[in-house]
Structure 1
Amino acid sequence: MRVFKDDTYEMVIIGRAEAVKIDDLRDWHALRATCVRCGHAGYINACVFRRLYPRYIRLIDTEHRFRCTSCNVRGAVSWMIVKLRR
């Protein structure tokens, strides 16, 4: 497990995005979506994400639904699972 420090989030990689399902996300997790094209990043709370998608869907299967607000490219998302700082 790799840990990165940030002001609000403690970035913890818990597994490859291909293997992580929505059901594996907990209330203290957040998702960091990074645009592959321009590098713009944003955070999505796992609680909100679990309400939007069924629990059996893999995280990698949701990439095509997201659009970068900076460069307007759809589907070029890289996911990182982060833990909210206590």
Structure 2
Amino acid sequence: SALTKVKMISRGNNSSYLKLKPVTGRTHQLRVHLNSIGHPILGDRMYAHDSAFALANRLMLHATKIKLMRPADGEWIEFDSACPF
């Protein structure tokens, strides 16, 4: 099974701005979960229906923070990136 935490930041007429946190790390987890509840990620050509393409010309999914363990020494390294949209 897979678990995703979802928090709505804002809502518009045709879309919502969400903060998503995958608790598990399944392939395409965020995309699959949102599509399964009828809220596909805009621009998702793999899982969303055609109307989701009309509102965005790219996949509107962005990781603002990624934390990884460096294999060479086991040290945790973190990368931050502001959301461009």
- Bigger share in helix: 1
User: What TM-score, normalized to structure 1?
Assistant: 0.28
Q: Higher relative contact order at CA 8 Å, sep ≥6: structure 1 or structure 2?
A: 1
Find the structure with the greater CA-based Rg: 2
User: What TM-score, normalized to structure 2?
Assistant: 0.29
